[in-house]
Structure 1
Amino acid sequence: MLASLRTAPAVQADQHPRTTPADGLSLDARLAAVEAAMTVRLDEAAVAHEVRTAHINTKPVDLTDVITVPLTPTLQPQPRQLPATPVAALLERARARMEADGWCAGALTDESGAVCLLGAIRKEAGGNRGLEADAASVVLDAIRRRFGDHIESVPDFNDAHGTGRIPLRMLDQAAGLADARGQ
């Protein structure tokens, strides 16, 4: 029985011809032939993969939009510590305002009192246009870090979403960014 195991081929024979030094080809010619054969095999594998996976829906999923928490917290939330820097503190207040008043798109504030990203910042800045501009700049930086440089403005980003979940998250990330920068 041991002898029969030794005589059985361990690997199936390759279906694609290979070149050997006995073919009379130079090293460069053999390498070119192997490269051509590998290209054909990779193309065949790519087509086979496309055929096998054509039915699979490949729409990307953002897990932060899928993972949810209960609406009624079971523990008392700890009050958030406001950052010491003025822009970071303004962005934290704007986040809290958006959570309390609600989120809107297409206007700074809607008829029910809900606010957009810039509307929340403007209300919390209390007329300080310099502080408001600094905060909007940090928010835009945070947005571009996460979503790319193609975002032109904070209102455009805000209006591109169907819910306030991502804009609210961006206010939180911008507050952390401003605090890290010392703004």
Structure 2
Amino acid sequence: MPLAHAPTQPTTGNRVSDSELSLEARLAATDAAMTIRLEEAAVAHEVRTAHISTDPIDLGDVLTVPLTPTLQPPTPHRTPVAALLQRAHHRLLTGGWCAGALVEEDGARCMVGAIRIEAHGDHGLEAGAVAVLLDAIRRKFGDVDSVPFFNDAHSSGRIPLRMLDQAAGLADTRGL
């Protein structure tokens, strides 16, 4: 049962030493003292911060950067497949990612759509890039049927974009 106040001194004028109090009484006294200190600190904090405005902020007034990425393409990898995967990654960053179609009306592309447009008709290079991408996906997520299946299984482009970037690194490591 916690005490409401710290123990008082005895009426004889002698102070009660900590060793004369039980553990429960000492804990209760410490609890009471800490409660008082915390309440005083809370009041002091409220007084010090009372002048701060707490009006809601409209994020439209705060965000001043363009909402579409204006990234410069990164320095290309030295190998053709790695460079293609890197360009496809950049294409999705700047042009948008989609699921369920190679290309949407607004220009957003799926992983294979980005690889295809960046391959510029080189079907061998495209096939090599898709194979490395599938290998990178399988390393991370296990047995996946195909790149389009993986792409369409996501509701945002965050993970597909990350896998394109990792596949570019894998292709560069392999010298492809």
For this structure pair, what is the TM-score category when the shorter chain's length is used for normalisation?
Answer: 0.5 to 0.7
Alignment of 1:158-177 (within 5 A): 158-177=151-170
Count the aligned residue pairs: 111
| Matches of 1:118 and 1:93, distance apart in 2 | 12
| Matches of 1:88 and 1:71, distance apart in 2 | 34
Alignment of 1:1-183 (within 5 A): 80-149=74-143, 151-183=144-176
> 1:86 Cα shift?
0.1
Structure 1 vs Structure 2: percent identity of aligned residues? 65
Instruction: Please tell me whether the aligned partners of residues 73 and 87 of structure 2 are also in contact (alpha carbons under 8 angstroms).
Output: no
TM norm structure 1: 0.57
Instruction: Please tell me whether the aligned partners of residues 95 and 108 of structure 2 are also in contact (alpha carbons under 8 angstroms).
Output: yes
Cα distance change on mapping 1:72 and 1:86 into 2, 3 Å: same
Cα shift readout 1:101-143 (whole Å, capped 9, x = no counterpart): 1000011001111000000000000000000000000000000
Structure 2: unaligned runs, 5 residues or longer = 1-62
> 1:78 Cα shift?
7.9
Structure 1: unaligned runs, 5 residues or longer = 1-69
Cα distance change on mapping 1:78 and 1:117 into 2, 3 Å: closer
CA RMSD of aligned residues (A): 2.2
Cα distance change on mapping 1:106 and 1:85 into 2, 3 Å: same
Runs of 4+ in 1 over 6 A off after TM superposition: none
Cα distance change on mapping 1:158 and 1:71 into 2, 3 Å: farther
Highest Rg: 1 or 2? 2
| Matches of 1:169 and 1:97, distance apart in 2 | 13
TM norm structure 2: 0.59
| Matches of 1:99 and 1:114, distance apart in 2 | 10
> 1:163 Cα shift?
0.3
Cα distance change on mapping 1:78 and 1:123 into 2, 3 Å: closer
> 1:72 Cα shift?
5.4
Cα shift readout 1:31-76 (whole Å, capped 9, x = no counterpart): xxxxxxxxxxxxxxxxxxxxxxxxxxxxxxxxxxxxxxx9959xxx
